[in-house]
Amino acid sequence: MTSDRLQTFLEIATEAALAAGAVLESYLGKLEDAVVEKGRPGDLVTAADKASEVVILDIVRRHFPEHSILAEESGKLGDQDNEFLWAIDPLDGTTNFAHQYPFFAVSIGLLIHGVPQVGVIYDPFHDELFRAAQGLGATRNRRPIQVSNTSELSKSLLVTGFAYDRRETSDNNYAEFCYLTHLTQGVRRSGSASLDLAHVACGRIDGYWERGISPWDIAAGVILLREAGGKVTAYDGSPLDLVSGRILATNSYIHESLSQELIQVPSLSTWKQ
């Protein structure tokens, strides 16, 4: 894929993210009763999610009608065997948004032959625009960014999240959260996977892991972090599978040590009461 073509994709993704961000701003604090649960407790969808997605889909389809789409609210659209797949989260951090907690974003990633190669994440509340494309680097508000240089897990700050089915399964990340809190300078839980990845990419956070996530949550963030000098894999260091629901992403320096700790965390049921 040529740099010029990737740049074109990046500009269209940016146009869509900024337009969607404006939609989210127009809804913030005005949802009233327009918030419902999609199935599991805490898995919310709002009128803002849907309106934001409509805007994104309109822009992407207008420019690339033949491309396939995987969007959080609309699901699979178009020929899923097409080499170009847009992974779209119109509002990453819906629960935060519904409570007017200022940590949410629009996330738009483009996979080419299954590999994230273009990504845009827009935080409208703080007006932060994160962009990246394969071989073109990563930026925040058009300025280059890079990961932190923290090289020891004991000196790192991490971030994670908890899946919507955490009440129903023991595979819920609670043990990892507690375990790694004791091995690091802290673990945060923000509620927006795309922004977690963006913050690792720009050096605010040293590492991130999560389970129970979807491709649209992380597609844009994966290319952003890689272009900023970070590393993204499965928990055990093997290649990332976007549909596995699990991700380990770091500044690369602490990647091996964090991976080793993650795969040996004892189950909560074995901890002393």
Residue 170 has pLDDT above 80, yes or no: no
pLDDT of residue 269: 61
pLDDT tops 60 at residue 273: no
Number of compact structural domains in the chain: 2
Q: What is the pLDDT of residues 51-95, one digit of tens each?
A: 999 999 999 999 999 999 999 999 999 988 899 999 999 999 999
Smallest Cα–Cα separation from 250: which of 137, 117, 114, 149? 149
- The predicted pLDDT at position 35 comes to 61
166 and 139 in a common domain: no
Calculate ∠ Cα 105-198-16, nearest 5°.
Answer: 45
Q: Are residues 124 and 82 in the same domain?
A: yes
Is pLDDT above 80 for 126?
A: yes
Given this model, what pLDDT does residue 163 score?
73
Same domain, 140 and 164: no
Reading the block at residue 27, the tokens are 């809804």
Write down which residue in 106, 125, 144 finishes a domain: 144
Which has the closest alpha carbon to 26: 78, 118, 91?
91
Per-residue pLDDT reduced to its tens digit, 212-256: 899 999 999 999 999 999 999 999 999 999 999 999 999 999 999
CA 114, 117, 121: angle at the middle one, nearest 5?
Answer: 115
Same domain, 116 and 222: no
Domain co-membership, 136 together with 183: no
The CA distance from 42 to 163, in Å, is 10
Strand ordering across the sheet containing 231-233: 187-189, 158-160, 207-211, 246-250, 231-233
Average per-residue pLDDT for the chain: 92
Q: Which residues are annotated as a binding site for Mg(2+)?
A: 72, 89, 91-92, 217
Binding site: residue ranges? 72, 89, 91-92, 217
State which of 144, 177, 197 marks the end of a domain: 144
Q: What is the mean pLDDT of residues 202-209?
A: 98
CATH of the domain at 235: 3.40.190.80
Q: Residue 5 pLDDT > 70, yes or no? A: yes
Residues 98 and 130 in one domain: yes
Specify whether 122 is located in the same domain as 159: no
Name the more confident of 248 and 40: 248
Say if residue 82 is in the same domain as residue 214. Answer: no
Domain that holds residue 116: 3-144
Same domain, 265 and 198: yes
Query: Sign of dihedral through CA atoms 191, 195, 200, 204?
Result: negative
Dihedral angle, C-alpha 219, 225, 228, 233, nearest 10 °? -120
Range from 27-36, 93-102, 164-173, 223-232 carrying the lowest mean pLDDT: 164-173
Tokens at 229, concatenated: 């000098």
Average pLDDT over residues 203-211: 97
Tokens matching residue 170: 């023991």
Of 99, 115, 144, which marks where a domain is finished? 144
- What is the CATH classification number for the domain harbouring 22? 3.30.540.10
Same domain (yes/no): 11, 137: yes
